[in-house]
Amino acid sequence: MKRSFRRVLPQLLTLAALMALVTLFFPQFLSIDYAGGRLSGPVIDVLKRGAPVALLAVGMTLVIATRGIDLSVGTIMAISGAVAAWALSSGWGAGPAVILAVGAGLVCGLWNGCLVAIVGIQPIVATLILMTSGRGIAQLITEGRILTFDAGPFAWLGSGILLGLPVPVFIWVLTAVGVAALMRRTALGLLVESIGINRSASALAGVNATVLLIAVYMASGLCAALAGIIATADIRGADANNAGLWLELDAILAVVIGGTSLLGGRFSVAASVLGAMIIQTIDTGILLAGFPSEYNLVIKAGLVLMILLIQSPNLVGHWHFLRHSLRRDPDASPRGAKS
Amino acid sequence: MTINPRLYPLLATIGIFIAAYIVCWIQFPYMLSTRVAGNLLTDNAYLGIVAVGMTLVILSGGIDLSVGSVIAFSGVFIAVLLRETGLHPLVVFVLLLGVTTAFGAAMGGVIHVLGMPAFIVTLAGMFLARGASYMLTIDSVPIQHPFYELLKDAYWLMPGKGRLTLIGIVMLLSVAVGAVVAHRTRFGASVFALGGGERTARLMGVRVGATTVGIYAFSGFMAGVSGIVFSIYTGSGYPLATVGTELTAIAAVVIGGTLLTGGAGYVLGTLFGVLTMGLIQTYIVFDGSLSSWWTKIVIGILLLLFILLQRGLVRATAVRA
C-alpha cells in the first residue's frame, strides 16, 4: 500500500499544486454546495467533465504498458455513441442500447488487437486505420445527422445523480478501481508489463502474448465505449463528427503525466487517472481563473515538455546524481569536499 | 528482367491511381480533362507539400504530429503580420519560413538530446503551434494585399483550358526537391540509414544528432511552405484550420508506399498517395449522391491494403535473406 502511494505521489502533488494555483485566482474553486440532493461546485464539475478522458486513460494505460498506442479511442467513442443513439431511436430500451454500444467498442478493440498481435502491424499505424475510417462508419450509422433520442433512463448515465454525485464519476472511478484490482490482485498486470518490456522473451517464457495483446486492445475499446456512452447520454444525441474528437491525445497525455513510459513496461492506472484529473483541472481552472482559453494549449505544451525532461532516459543519470547529492550530507558530497 | 522488390509498393500506388482514374473516366468521361487534373493539383497542393516533409520524417523512422498546427500558425502569422505591419508579403514569407524551420529544428533537437519518442515531442509541438496561433488571434483574418491577388490568379493555361495554378506548380516543385534531397544527397542517405536503425547508422558514420535536427527542420520548412500555399488557397488565416492534417499526411505517405518503420520508400510515391486521396474526393463530388463520409472509409481501406502489402513484402524479403 505504501509503495503504491509513493508511486502516485508526484501526480498528487502536481494536482494539489494546480488546485492551489487555481484557488489563488478563483477563491471559490474549492467550495462545494449541497442543494436539491446533489453536490455542486467546480471540483465536482472537474470530476464529472474529466470522466471521458479518465476512462480513455484507463484503457490507454494498459495499451501503452504493452509498448503500444491506441489512436482510435476517440473514434470508438463516436462509433459506440452512434450505435447507442441508433438503438434508442429505433425503439430499443436503454439496456440493449448500452449492451450494443459496449459490444461495438469491443469489436473495434478486437479489430485493433488482431491487426497488432496477429498481423503484426505497428500499433500507431494499426489504430490509425480505425481512427480515419471509423468516423466514416459512425456517420454511416447516424446517416450524417446528429442523432437525437428520447431521454429516458439512458440519459441518466450522462447527467443523472447518485448519492449526490454525478453518475459519470461513479462510472470512471469504478472502472479504474476494477481494472487496477484485476491487474494488481492477479498476475495479469505483471504479464502485461512483461509484454511491454520484451514481447518475444515473455512469449518464450510461456506468456500467451497474442491473446493478452488482443485482450488489452479490447479493454481499451471497452473503456472508449463507456466514454462514448457518457458523452452521448450527456448531450442526448450522437454527433459522429465531434464526439471524442482529439480526446485520444488527451488520454495519451494523461497516461504520460501519470508517469507510464511510452516505451512500455511499468504502469499505474491510478496515476493515469490522476493525470486525467490534472488535465481537466487545467482546462476548467483556466476558464474559472479568467484566463483566455487560448492559453490552454500552450500550458499543456509546457506541461508535456516538463514531463519529457523528467522522464528522459538520457537525463536519468543526471536526476539520480541530483537526488543523491541532495540527500547526502553537504560535507560528504564531492563538491563540498572540493570547496 | 526482374523488378527490385523495393519498387513494388511504389508501382502498386501508381497502378491503383491509374486504375482508379480509369474507373472514374469510364463513369464520367469529363474526368479525363486538364481542368479536373489542374484542380486536383490545386486543391491538394498544401497536403502534397506537407506530405513531402512527412515522407522524410517517416523514412527516418520518426513521426511529426505538429505539421497541421504549423500550417494553421503560418496562415495566422501571415494574416496578422500583413494586417498589423506594412511589410511586403515576400518579407513575411521569409520570416515565417525562418520561424517554422527553427521550430522544426528545435523539436528535432529535443528528440535527439532527450532521447524521447518523436510522437510525444511533436505532440507537444502540435499543442504549442496551435496555442501560439490562438494567441495571435482567435478570429479568421482575411488577407487583403494586391500581391496576394497576383499570386492567387497566377496560372498557366494548359491545353484543354485546364489551369495549372502557381500553388500546383509549387507542389510539383516541392516533390521534385524532396525527391532530390531524399534520393540524391548525402543527407538523404543518412535519413535512410537512420530509418534502417539508429545503431547501424551510427556505426556507418552517420551524424545522428545533426541528421535528426535536419529532418525535423526540413519538415518544419515544408509545413511553412504548405502554410503559405494554404493561405493563398483560402485567402485568410484561421487558427482552427487544418486540424488533423498531420494524420491525412501520414495516410498519404503510407498509401504512397513508404514503409512506416522507416528506411524504405519514395518521395514520388507520396505524390501519388496524395493524388489518390484527392481523386476519391473528386469522384464523390462528381457522383453527387455519395456522402462525404465514404471518403474516410475508402481511405481507411486503402491504408489497410497498403500496410498489408508492405507486411507481405517485408516477410518476403526477410525469407529471401
- 3-state percent helix, strand, coil for chain A, nearest multiple of 5: 75, 5, 20
pLDDT at B3 over 70: no
pLDDT tens by residue, A107-126:
999 999 999 998 888 888 88
**CB-CB neighbours of A76 under 10 Å:** 35
User: What is the structure's pLDDT at A316?
Assistant: 65
Asked if A9 has any chain B CB less than 8 Å from its own CB, the reply is: no
- Among B115, B134, B295, whose Cβ lies nearest the Cβ of A314? B115
Rounded distance between C-alpha atoms, residue B237 and residue B240, angstroms: 9
The residue in chain B having the minimum alpha-carbon distance to the alpha carbon of residue A317 is B114
Amino acid at A324: H
User: What is the structure's pLDDT at B270?
Assistant: 93
> Has residue A238 been placed in a domain?
yes
- Which residues does chain A have within 8 Å of residue B110's beta carbon, measured at their own beta carbons? 305, 308
- Which residues does chain A have within 8 Å of residue B303's beta carbon, measured at their own beta carbons? 125, 128-129, 132-133
Give the predicted TM-score (pTM) of the model. 0.84
Interface test with A, best of B80, B103, B114 (most A CBs within 10 A): B114
User: What is the structure's pLDDT at A31?
Assistant: 79
Looking at A154-163, B212-221, B307-316, which range is the least confident one? Answer: B307-316
Q: What value of ipTM does the predicted structure carry?
A: 0.77
* All residues at 6 or more sequence positions from B221 whose CB lies less than 8 Å from its CB, including other chains: B53, B97, B100, B101, B104
The residue in chain B having the minimum alpha-carbon distance to the alpha carbon of residue A241 is B293
Domains of chain B: 5-320 (1.10.3470)
Is the CB of residue B91 less than 8 Å from the CB of residue A289?
A: no
Rounded distance between C-alpha atoms, residue A331 and residue A19, angstroms: 38
Helix B245-255 with A123-142: angle, nearest 10 deg: 110
User: What is the structure's pLDDT at A335?
Assistant: 42
> Has residue A332 been placed in a domain?
no
Interface test with A, best of B296, B299, B314 (most A CBs within 10 A): B296
Nearest-CA distance from A236 to chain B in Å? 23
When pLDDT is cut at 50, 70 and 90, the band that residue A166 belongs to is confident
Nearest-CA distance from B116 to chain A in Å? 6
- Which residues does chain B have within 8 Å of residue A69's beta carbon, measured at their own beta carbons? 119
The residue in chain A having the minimum alpha-carbon distance to the alpha carbon of residue B311 is A121
Nearest-CA distance from A152 to chain B in Å? 30
User: What is the structure's pLDDT at A332?
Assistant: 44
User: What is the structure's pLDDT at A53?
Assistant: 94
Helices (H) and strands (E) in chain A, counts: 16, 6
The beta strand positions in B140-212, using DSSP E, are: 141-142, 155-157, 163-165
Find, among A182, A217, A186, A211, the residue nearest to A199 by Cα: A211
Interface test with A, best of B307, B309, B311 (most A CBs within 10 A): B307
**What Å distances lie between residue B178 and B55, B98, B182, B274, CA to CA?**
9, 18, 6, 15
Q: Which three cell numbers stand for residue B256?
A: 504512397
Full domain range(s) for residue A106: 10-293
> Has residue A38 been placed in a domain?
yes
Asked if B300 and A136 come within 8 Å (Cβ–Cβ), the reply is yes
Rounded distance between C-alpha atoms, residue B96 and residue B94, angstroms: 5
Asked if A28 has any chain B CB less than 8 Å from its own CB, the reply is: no
Asked if B135 and A294 come within 8 Å (Cβ–Cβ), the reply is yes
pLDDT at A339 over 50: no
Higher pLDDT, A314 or A251: A251
Asked if A129 and B291 come within 8 Å (Cβ–Cβ), the reply is no
Amino acid at B8: Y
Average pLDDT of span A299-315: 75
Asked if A301 and B124 come within 8 Å (Cβ–Cβ), the reply is yes
Rounded distance between C-alpha atoms, residue B221 and residue B96, angstroms: 9
Asked if B131 and A122 come within 8 Å (Cβ–Cβ), the reply is no
The domain that holds A35 is classified in CATH as 1.10.3470
Q: Mean pLDDT of all residues in chain A?
A: 84
Element (H, E) at B114: helix B89-114
3-state SS assignment for residue B74: helix
> Has residue A226 been placed in a domain?
yes
When pLDDT is cut at 50, 70 and 90, the band that residue B178 belongs to is very high
- Which residues does chain B have within 8 Å of residue A315's beta carbon, measured at their own beta carbons? 114
Rounded distance between C-alpha atoms, residue A251 and residue A221, angstroms: 13
The residue in chain A having the minimum alpha-carbon distance to the alpha carbon of residue B107 is A305
The count of domains in chain A is: 1
The residue in chain A having the minimum alpha-carbon distance to the alpha carbon of residue B293 is A136
Is the CB of residue A211 less than 8 Å from the CB of residue A66?
A: no
Looking at A150-164, A261-275, B85-99, B248-262, which range is the least confident one? Answer: A150-164
With b for 16 or more beta-carbon neighbours within 10 A and e for fewer, the B128-140 pattern comes to bbbbbbbebbeee
Q: Which three cell numbers stand for residue A69?
A: 498506442
Nearest-CA distance from A309 to chain B in Å? 7
User: What is the structure's pLDDT at A337?
Assistant: 38
User: What is the structure's pLDDT at B260?
Assistant: 77
Distance from the first to the final alpha carbon of chain B: 20
> Has residue A270 been placed in a domain?
yes
> Has residue A317 been placed in a domain?
no
User: What is the structure's pLDDT at A331?
Assistant: 47
Q: Please, which residues bridge with residue A165 across strands?
A: A162
